Amino acid sequence: MAKLSREEILSTIQNGLIASCQPVDDGPMDKPEIVAAMAQASLIGGAAGLRIEGVDNLTATRPTVNAPIIAIVKRDLSDSPIRITPFLQDIEDLVTAGADIIAVDGTDRVRPVAVETALKRIHELGCLAMADCSTLAEGLYCQQLGFDIIGSTMSGYTGGKVPQEPDYQLVKDLKAAGCFVMAEGRYNSPELAKTAIEIGANCVTVGSALTRLEHIVGWFADAIKTAKV
């Protein structure tokens, strides 16, 4: 597939659904060939782009699809809370495997590589850069640095109890500041995804509600258990 320009990538995902094809870690569906199949099925269903975790999964998926791919590597580090694409080597490996967009943690926390350094490397290697943020201040800082996409991805996930609802206000505020906004985080129904676009998001990433079968089945099973018969 010919490399798309920045404008072509952003135009392709504008007002679109990004399917995050990330199965439950170490679950029965956590295999590169299954992730690639999830990606193909998502595009058949109407997704405008994909979010893929891991070099092996990206390597398996890239040859099978033509849609833009947001790629990440997740790591659990002993000396930093940063999980999303923490190292420059991760960025380089994802570029080699065929990423169009590379997402990194954009939160203001202790990290192995400065977000400015990560952004510079992503752009040097010819990919778009997305910042997964938790607050408006973080999003605005990453926008000023030159990130192409600002996501609400980390809102609710940097400490304390995770909210049930998406962070609509963050999406609204980022849009008002002129960001290209990816609504992400707890958009687990068609209605919530629709609302994200209506309040200003440029596109919406949905993960668990599409590709984590264990979670989806659990939602139904738990609801049935509470039924009054």
For 196, phi then psi, to 5°, come to -55, -45
Identify the domain containing residue 174 by its residue range. Answer: 16-225
pLDDT tens-digit series, residues 125-153: 999 999 999 999 999 999 999 999 999 99
- Under the banding of pLDDT at 50, 70 and 90, the label for residue 85 is very high
The answer to whether residue 1 sits within a structural domain is no
The answer to whether residue 49 sits within a structural domain is yes
The answer to whether residue 2 sits within a structural domain is no
Please tell me what DSSP assigns to residue 25: T
The answer to whether residue 39 sits within a structural domain is yes
Token pair in block for residue 136:
């408006």
Q: Sign of dihedral through CA atoms 181, 170, 91, 213?
A: negative
194 or 1, which is more confident:
194
Among 50, 93, 47, residue whose Cα is nearest residue 73:
93
Number of separate domains in the chain: 1
pLDDT tens-digit series, residues 157-202: 999 999 999 999 999 999 999 999 999 999 999 999 999 999 999 9
pLDDT of residue 165: 97
CATH code for the domain of 133 = 3.20.20.70
pLDDT tens-digit series, residues 32-55: 999 999 999 999 999 999 999 999
d(CA 181, CA 183): 6
Distance of CA 80 to the CA centre of its chain: 20
The answer to whether residue 6 sits within a structural domain is no
The answer to whether residue 201 sits within a structural domain is yes
Q: Is the confidence at residue 88, as pLDDT, over 60? A: yes
Q: Which of the residue ranges 1-10, 29-38, 50-59, 111-120 would you say has the lowest mean pLDDT? A: 1-10
The answer to whether residue 9 sits within a structural domain is no
Q: Is the confidence at residue 1, as pLDDT, over 60? A: no
The answer to whether residue 10 sits within a structural domain is no
